[in-house]
Amino acid sequence: MSLCEVCIGLRALFFPKHIPETLEEPRISDPRTNDRIRVPEVRLIGPNGEQVGVVSIDAALRMAAENDLDLVEVAPQSKPPVAKIMDFGKYKYEAAQKAKDARRNQANTVLKEVRFRLKIDEHDYETKKKMAVSFLSGGDKVKAMILFRGREQSRPEQGVRLLQKFAEDIAEFGTVEHTPTIDGRNMVMVIGPLKSKSEVKAEQNAKRDAAKAEAKAGKATTAPAEAAAPAPAAE
């Protein structure tokens, strides 16, 4: 067999002239719209949300075209399927914005740890309290832990009093979820925030957006004033 015959054989093997049309139609995540809705009739919702009733697909498409809008299949499993006349491009944009906002506000609560000694001085105590307030204000939980040394383990009531005082001092920012319990040589108490992390993040984003809008509005009002200012008189 010559080299040319080998090349021709390989070409026929890897590059066939005909590919059978057995490939499935690719999946599309978007709902079916307009001519892609292949059913004889639909339960139609009008452009203003009104219930039109069961109509033929031709009538539904004609009504959508008359309103210069799209026919969108919103409930394909219904019998007959439910279709709505809407601006599909606007619908997709608004859905994408909602998904973006949901991702932006999504947050997971973290368990932060604050450690004490039973004989803690006032300055160190205030530092630990500020740390806990910062964690709770950010929507995180606080695990307050007392580390007992030697004979201190025989005086757990002092640890309970210290943790109770700590809980009272930060009650404005969090509530006790788990009362003081002994964990080996340590005593532990868990305090949860009054606001979830998602709520805190949503508030922060809202404040940031409001500040941006205010700054933008301020620039818009100062620009015309500068343009209207009279030119200085020539000497």
Query: pLDDT for 57-109, tens place per residue?
Result: 999 999 999 999 999 998 888 889 999 999 999 888 888 888 777 676 566 66
Q: Where are the domains of the chain?
A: 34-88, 111-197
Per-residue model confidence (pLDDT) at position 1:
54
C-beta separation of 83 from 72 below 8 A: yes
Residues written for the chain:
235
- CATH number for the segment(s) 34-88: 3.10.20.80
* Domains 34-88 and 111-197 in one fold: no
- Whole-number mean pLDDT of the chain? 81
pLDDT tens digits along 101-133: 767 656 666 889 999 998 899 999 999 999 999
C-beta separation of 143 from 188 below 8 A: yes
- CATH number for the segment(s) 111-197: 3.30.110.10
Per-residue model confidence (pLDDT) at position 20:
43
pLDDT tens digits along 158-181: 999 999 999 999 999 999 999 999
Per-residue model confidence (pLDDT) at position 106:
60
* pTM of this prediction exceeds 0.95: no
Residue 199 phi/psi, 5-degree rounding, is: -65, -45
Across residues 196-213, what is the average pLDDT?
78
**Which CA distances in Å does 129 have to 119, 134, 138, 217?**
15, 9, 14, 40
pLDDT band at 5 (very low <50, low <70, confident <90, very high): low
Least confident of 168-177, 178-187, 224-233: 224-233
